[in-house]
Every structure is written in C-alpha cells, then in structure tokens.
Chain A
Amino acid sequence: GAGVSQSPRYKVAKRGQDVALRCDPISGHVSLFWYQQALGQGPEFLTYFQNEAQLDKSGLPSDRFFAERPEGSVSTLKIQRTQQEDSAVYLCASSRGLFSGANVLTFGAGSRLTVL
C-alpha cells in the first residue's frame, strides 16, 4: 500500500480483556517497529521485526504483550489482560531496512487504546 495502515483506529477495552492491534506496513518494507506513545510523551520502542524474525523485543513492558509477523508483512500486537496503564496510542512503523543513511521510519496513524 501507499502508507502504513493500522486498525482499529480506536479501541475501548474493559480491564482484563485481550486486544489485538493490526499493522499493514508499506509493501516490501523489511523492517517493522511497534511503539507505544503515552499522552504528552514521545513514542517508546516496543519491538522490532526484520521480515518475520522478531529481533528485538526489549521494549515490551510485560509478558502480557506479544507481537508477531508470521509471513513478514502484516503484524499484530496483542495485549492480554489489559490494564489501565496500557492506555496509549500504539504506533506501527516500517522501513526498507538498514542500507545507508538514516533509517527513516514511516509511521501509521496509530491505534488509540483506552482501558476502562
């Protein structure tokens, strides 16, 4: 596609529910990143995929967070047993990968999660 597409754009969950957030990266982009952005803060790194391989998950805040990219394109971020502190905008970004120059990430519009 022309850009990074994320769905749903808005999600309201009751505490304890599981949620799944989807990301469609730009076609052919090797690298895919998930970020969490709390209100008034900058995006915080969660995890990174190179094709289908999850090479860095150091930013995932707990084992309730799980991400996958089974075929190296679409990715899903799953949050189990949601808690109020999970309320944030979840941003997905993709890039061609590390070649030369700055690794410019193209971001989607985000999925805003509100946990009640």
Chain B
Amino acid sequence: DQQVKQNSPSLSVQEGRISILNCDYTNSMFDYFLWYKKYPAEGPTFLISISSIKDKNEDGRFTVFLNKSAKHLSLHIVPSQPGDSAVYFCAASGQGSSNTGKLIFGQGTTLQVKP
C-alpha cells in the first residue's frame, strides 16, 4: 500500500511562472512532511518541511501547503527557474509510538522548467 502518492509523474512550466507539485497521503499519524529535490546521479537533497500542526511554511521561492482534512500537500515554486528542473519527492515521517524517524517517500514528480 502506497502511503504517500505523487500522482503526476511529470510537470513542465515556463521560466518565471509558478510550479505546483502535489502529494497525497493516507496515514493520519504522519507528523512531518518533507520535500526533497534530486538531480541525476546525485542523492536527494532536502528542500523544505512542514509540521502537521501547520498549514503553510515558506522559504524563499518555496512554499509548502498542508491540507490535513484532505490529506494533501503541495509545493509551490515561484518564480520557477531552469535550475529547478529536477525530480521532486514528497516524504512523510512519524507514525506514532513506533516512530524511528524514517521517511516514507512518494514516487516523485519530474519538473522541467523551460527557459
């Protein structure tokens, strides 16, 4: 069972426009959500996180929104730049008393930002 889902395998946007990447989850016990960015032949790098008690977290061009009732989060990148072209993974952690800090990842969305 896929606890974290990214239903859009790819997204293409024009430079300067907004990129919106979406993620759905099924486990209401998750307490943190993270976004990672991955370039080819490199490991994923941390981008931004949000606690389940918040509904928004912003860091520069990156904003993450959390809708707990819908079990949905999204990452907004404004304005998008060609260097943002990468695979973006949504991840979740915290599963109650058995929490080890491990992250559960979605399948990833490939973002292409066209100049």
Partner-B contacts on A (CB < 8 A)? 4, 31, 33, 35, 40-45, 48, 50, 55-56, 91, 93, 95, 97-98, 101-110
Choose from A43, A56, A98 the contact partner of B105 (Cβ within 8 Å). Answer: A43
Q: Write the nearest CB–CB distance from A114 to chain B, whole angstroms.
A: 14
Choose from A35, A104, A109, A110 the contact partner of B34 (Cβ within 8 Å). Answer: A104
A108 touches B43 (CB 8 A): yes
A107 touches B45 (CB 8 A): yes
Interface positions, chain B 45-74, Cβ under 8 Å from A, are: 45-46, 49, 51
Choose from B6, B34, B41, B106 the contact partner of A102 (Cβ within 8 Å). Answer: B34
Complex Cα–Cα for A107 and B39 (A):
12
B43 touches A95 (CB 8 A): no
Choose from B43, B91, B100 the contact partner of A48 (Cβ within 8 Å). Answer: B100
Question: Which residues on B sit within 8 Å (CB–CB) of A31?
Answer: 100-101
